[in-house]
């Protein structure tokens, strides 16, 4: 009867050793490896694999689409969802996150941001900039262009109302 309890207890204790993945047999990326041609442990990516630095969906649209009322309205809707919490509904960088102690983002009505291209705005939405993280995986390309076009309309509307800085 003693062995019936002792053997499972010993097996259970044998499984309690460190099981970290860092402590396993492996080849480091630039290590010498006799097993492979060229003796490099670095292996080429298999076909169809997306590298971490690549986009899953290639950016098809390199130029902004022609502005239409429906596209600008879609841009306003997407702007209010994704951008207004930080940049504010009017784009002055006074969104609700600033009231909660986060750094103030730049105003879209500064001369520097008024002079940027829609392509630059699209790229910032896609890849992030400074402390702004990427929205490339959250906002589809068509909506990124819509936001960029709406932002241009917002800048013009604030300038006409004397809101430019």
Which single residue is written with the structure tokens 């008024």?
A: 114
Q: What CATH code would you report for 69-160?
A: 1.10.760.10
Residue whose entry in the numeric block shows the structure tokens 């298999």: 46
Q: Which residues pair with 129 in a beta bridge?
A: 132
Per-residue tens of pLDDT for the chain, all 165 residues: 788 888 888 777 777 767 677 777 888 878 888 888 888 888 777 887 766 665 555 555 566 789 999 999 999 999 999 999 999 999 999 999 999 999 999 999 999 999 999 999 999 999 999 889 999 999 999 999 999 999 999 999 988 554 445
Q: What are phi and psi of 109, to 5 degrees?
A: -100, 10
Distance between CA 99 and CA 34 in Å, rounded? 59
Predicted TM-score of the model (pTM): 0.62
Beta bridge partners of 132: 129
């Amino acid at each position: 009867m003693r062995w019936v309890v002792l053997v499972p207890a010993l097996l259970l204790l044998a499984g309690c050793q460190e099981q970290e993945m860092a402590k396993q047999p492996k080849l480091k990326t630039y290590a010498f490896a006799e097993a492979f041609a060229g003796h490099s442990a670095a292996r080429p990516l298999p076909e169809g694999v997306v590298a971490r630095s690549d986009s899953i969906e290639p950016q098809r649209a390199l130029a902004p689409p022609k502005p239409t009322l429906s596209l600008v309205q879609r841009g306003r809707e997407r702007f209010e969802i994704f951008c207004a919490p930080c940049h504010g509904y009017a784009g002055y960088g006074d969104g609700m996150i600033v009231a909660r102690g986060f750094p103030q983002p730049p105003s879209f009505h500064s001369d520097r941001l008024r002079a940027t291209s829609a392509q630059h705005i699209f790229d910032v939405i896609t890849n992030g900039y400074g402390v702004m993280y990427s929205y490339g995986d959250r906002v589809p390309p068509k909506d990124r262009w819509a936001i960029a076009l709406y932002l241009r309309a917002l800048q013009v509307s604030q300038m006409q109302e004397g809101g430019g800085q």
